[in-house]
Amino acid sequence: MDKVIRWFLVFILFILLVLVRAFEAKLFYDPLILHFRHHYLYESLPEFNTLKLFFFVFLRYLLNMIISLGIIYVIFKNKRLIKFSIKFYSVAFFVMSLVYYVLLHTDIINDQWLTFYVRRFLIHPLFVLILIPAFYYQKMLVKQTN
């Protein structure tokens, strides 16, 4: 694939990630959006439907993951990295969803900062910003040893 076309595809895929974020209120059920934008330090969590909330968190995570995997594949063209990324995303979703559920349904921590940040990792494509430099660094290390 031509280098210009590859970077154009990466750009388009990043635009898709931005569009998911831009239309989040219309696409996904999330009563916590407004809560965390305003006075969440002073107010308790709003009422929400747990099953519906987690379904839409999963849907959003899946959508961001698929686009992110596309970005990783276009940049590196390495199926092993995609397989690793799928496993990484799956384990991360399971662990963070469990933590998120516990934080939402217990009063272990009175502070909502942790809930805010766990939620952020679930609904935003932050892992792609971690994985791309990590894979690039790994690629550079392999080149140096050869």
Got the DSSP string for 17-50?
A: HHHHHHTHHHHS--THHHHHHS-TTTSPPPP--H
Q: How many domains does the chain have?
A: 1
pLDDT for 37: 74
Confidence grade of residue 66 (pLDDT, cut at 50, 70, 90) = very high
String of b and e for 94-121 (b: at least 16 CB within 10 Å)?
Answer: eebbeebeebbeeeeeeebeebeebbeb
Of how many residues is the chain composed?
146
Q: Is residue 28 part of a domain?
A: no
Q: Is residue 67 part of a domain?
A: yes
pLDDT for 54: 94
Q: Is residue 32 part of a domain?
A: no
pLDDT for 1: 66
pLDDT for 97: 97
Tell me the C-alpha distance between 90 and 109, whole Å. Answer: 26
Q: Is residue 35 part of a domain?
A: no
Mean pLDDT of 17-46: 81
32 near 46, Cβ under 8 Å?
A: yes
pLDDT for 42: 67
pLDDT for 111: 66
Mean pLDDT for all residues in the chain = 90
Tell me the C-alpha distance between 23 and 17, whole Å. Answer: 10
What is the span of the domain harbouring residue 136? 3-23+48-145
pLDDT for 36: 74
Percentage of residues in the chain having pLDDT higher than 70? 93
SS3 111: coil
Q: Is residue 41 part of a domain?
A: no
pLDDT in tens, 79-129: 999 999 999 999 999 999 999 999 888 866 566 788 888 989 999 999 999
Confidence grade of residue 39 (pLDDT, cut at 50, 70, 90) = low
Q: Is residue 33 part of a domain?
A: no
Mean pLDDT of 9-35: 91
Q: Is residue 29 part of a domain?
A: no
Q: Is residue 36 part of a domain?
A: no
